[in-house]
Amino acid sequence: MKTVVLSLLLFTSFLGDVEDNEKQLYKKATAAFEKGNYEEAILKYEELTAMDNTNSEYHFLTGLSYYKSRKDLGKAVDYFNSTIETFDGDTIAETYYYLGRSYREQGEFTKAKVAFETFEHFLKDNDEGNALRTEIEVEYQWVENAIAHEERLKNGLRVEDMSSDLNSVYGDYAPVYVEELDLLAFTSRRPGVSNELAFDNKYYEDIYFCKRRDSNWVLLSEEEHDFIFDIENTEGHDSYIAYESQKDLYVYRENKIFQQRYENGAWTTLSEFELVNDGSKHTPSVSFSPDGKTLYFAHKETTGKGGKDIYVATKDENNEWSKPKNLGVANTRFDEDGPFVSRDGKTLYFSSKGHNSMGGFDFFKLNLTDEKAEPVRMPEPYNSLADDIFIDISNDERHGFISSNRNGSIGDMDIFEIFYKPYQTKFEGLAVYENDQKPASAEIIIIDKATNKEVTRVTPDPQTGKYNVVLENSKTYVFNVNGSEDHQAFSNELKVPEQERDINSIQLIELKKLMNNEGQHNANVLAITSDFDNNASTISLENQPEFKAENELVNVILDTIPIEVFKMADANFERFYGYNQNEITNEARFNDFLVNLEKAVKQEGRIEVQIEASASKVPTRTYRTNTRLAKRRAEVPRKKIEAYFASKNIDISKAIVFNEDCKVQGPNYKNDFEKNRLMYEQFQFVKIKVAKAN
């Protein structure tokens, strides 16, 4: 069995038997790996794999580069499995370790357990082996925590990776939101002031700022952020870690925390914040209560519970700080980091590898108003199966920023924005009289039962009885229909169920008159039938023979919720890719596209789906040719479209004509991917447009 260091795997023993050009390529791949430039490492390791497809070390290092790049864990799994298939005598035991981690982070828990169990068989009965067994026990516990995970996606919360202009292929993390300026500060390990590498073989940390402009986040130039905050990056580590409104800001550098005060309309020079600084210990993050009188910080102390712990200190009436105390309930024998106090001072958020983490760091929150409170793990989408660390969040937890290395990230850590948009049901409805099935064009008044407030009014088309309306999920509504025959009201309730996505529904409203035994009219009843998954065969607007006219649906909206009017352009989709990527990682956005595609089919009967897929000229060994990669980028969405329509029992051969245009384009590759990544990535995409079929 070959034994290698888990954190950085470099193989050199076999180089004596290979050609000089292969040696040089290996050295370049290793240099890129050591710098954390995993995309460049992938390029070169895949070239090596193509040169010698039986070399298990090449397969392993390619898989490890994919794993550490965070962009495509599926490719990491493929290469780890091909490593196992190419073992010839010696076994790279750590393959099973990283295979297990990859499976766990993808949610394939049974396969993860098998991989970890296999890895344990290779461990020796010595200090190193026992340490690794302890590490595997933690992995098992994370798997069990994830299986038992009960918190579900908070209704309406969405998470989006920030743009590639902000996130890089390197680490980007520790977001700090300056609310009054709508400005975001963060830390990055991309090449900056210094092109030297730190002790961990990554570039030194630098501070960056971005600002929202026209709904987009834009990276500020050095001149722009110097105008706002007088902070310059140095040759060493610089990290922006805390901000108190127009009062103080805090920066990490030289393994210490520095403070900068806002006085007389200007920022002072940085001065050491001595309370938390100890040259022999690591203090990477701090956070203050809104009144500035309570300080929370992460610190590694020999008397702590283990690893980094959260500490607290308070300021007395003489503005003197107390001796910091270990915040016992928050801490475990594992690392805790990234404390953040809510803007109302009621909640402490932090990250921990302990408690009931699902894997690596997870976000937890602690109620500061309850002395008996215990940390509570936050739900999705805040947490994932990977590392989630550093958070800045609003009091209502509906908007904020996190950093995470979850699957699909651009680099080894990315900044994500969390925002709230309630999930909704879009109803395509038909209102008729039950006795003769003629259209009921009377006004429909919809009221939120919980608040007794009117939500909207809709008037069905007088010729067809059809209407559209959008209602928020997880609510009960009262439907009142006025202006019917005999001027008597019809009324009923509709409960829109909780859904973890936006959905479409067909709805049938029937106005019924009830008669007594003497044949006299004594009550009006409003019957509402809704198909919340569009799967019920008994509800169909097309089943109403009197109402097949081609009239457009008409809605008269007298009060406000926005009603989305469907247009063919709404069914378009585009996705730009990193190197060798072809998967659709933003499932929520693609699911919206599929829903709109179904609408287009219902509206037009038959449509043409035009898929333009492109690969740049950066060489790919995984797919052998760039043309094959472009075809793969077209194939992935097409198969997803086919699967979606099959799930809806729609014959796709009758509904959709596919037209695929796969191409290789852009500038010729000059071995400059690291320098000109963005130039190449603009030619790595799939674009889907929808048109009427001829």
User: What is the model's pLDDT at position 406?
Assistant: 86
**C-alpha 109: how far from chain center:** 20
105: exposed, middle or buried (Cβ count in 10 Å: 0-12, 13-18, 19+): buried
User: What is the model's pLDDT at position 562?
Assistant: 34
What's the CA gap between 600 and 604, in Å, rounded?
6
User: What is the model's pLDDT at position 361?
Assistant: 95
43: exposed, middle or buried (Cβ count in 10 Å: 0-12, 13-18, 19+): buried
What's the CA gap between 28 and 15, in Å, rounded?
13
User: Could you tell me the CA-to-CA distances from 63 to 93, 96, 97 in Å, in that order?
Assistant: 14, 12, 12
Provide the pairing of β-strand 490-496 with 475-481.
antiparallel
Q: Can you read off the two tokens belonging to residue 368?
A: 């500061």
CB 109 within 8 A of CB 117: no
Could you tell me the strand order of the sheet in which 444-448 lies? 453-458, 444-448, 475-481, 490-496
Residues of the chain with pLDDT under 70: 1-19, 89-90, 150-156, 163-165, 215, 225-228, 245-246, 279-281, 302-304, 482-489, 513-525, 531-570, 585-588, 674, 678
DSSP 315: B
User: Could you tell me the CA-to-CA distances from 493 to 339, 460, 479, 526 in Å, in that order?
Assistant: 45, 18, 6, 9
Nearest to 420 by CA among 389, 396, 453, 385: 396
Strand partners, 185: 176, 209
User: Could you tell me the CA-to-CA distances from 405 to 345, 411, 532 in Å, in that order?
Assistant: 28, 7, 35
Q: What residue type is assigned to position 173 of the chain?
A: Y
Instruction: List Cβ neighbours of 185 (8 Å cut-off, separation of 6 or more).
Output: 175, 176, 178, 207, 208, 209, 229, 240, 243
The mean predicted confidence, pLDDT, of the chain is: 82
Nearest to 683 by CA among 694, 673, 671: 673
Could you tell me the strand order of the sheet in which 656-664 lies? 573-576, 685-692, 607-615, 656-664
Q: Give me the residue label for tokens 């600002």.
A: 211
3-state secondary structure 329-393: HHCCCCCEEEEEECCCCCEEEEEECCCCCCCCCEEEEEECCCCCCCCEECCCCCCCCCCEEEEEE
User: What is the model's pLDDT at position 564?
Assistant: 40
What's the CA gap between 524 and 263, in Å, rounded?
71
What's the CA gap between 140 and 120, in Å, rounded?
12
CB 480 within 8 A of CB 525: no
What's the CA gap between 251 and 480, in Å, rounded?
59
Q: Can you read off the two tokens belonging to residue 648?
A: 């809806």
What's the CA gap between 126 and 448, in Å, rounded?
66
Q: Give me the residue label for tokens 């092109």.
A: 195
Residue 54 phi, psi dihedral angles, 5° rounding: -100, 0
User: What is the model's pLDDT at position 519?
Assistant: 58
User: Could you tell me the CA-to-CA distances from 550 to 69, 210, 463, 509, 560 in Å, in that order?
Assistant: 53, 50, 10, 20, 27
User: What is the model's pLDDT at position 541?
Assistant: 42
Segment (H or E) for 585 = none
CB 298 within 8 A of CB 390: no
Could you tell me the strand order of the sheet in which 503-515 lies? 466-472, 424-433, 503-515, 521-531
Rounded-to-5 percentages of helix, strand, coil across the chain: 25, 30, 40
Nearest to 120 by CA among 1, 286, 295: 1
**C-alpha 57: how far from chain center:** 32
What's the CA gap between 64 and 4, in Å, rounded?
13
Strand partners, 294: 314
Q: Give me the residue label for tokens 């344990």.
A: 120
What's the CA gap between 224 and 231, in Å, rounded?
11
DSSP 504: E
Side-chain half-sphere CA neighbours of 680 within 13 A = 22
Strands in 449-520 per DSSP E: 453-458, 466-472, 475-481, 490-496, 503-515
Q: Would you say the C-alpha torsion 62, 65, 67, 72 has a positive or negative sign?
A: negative
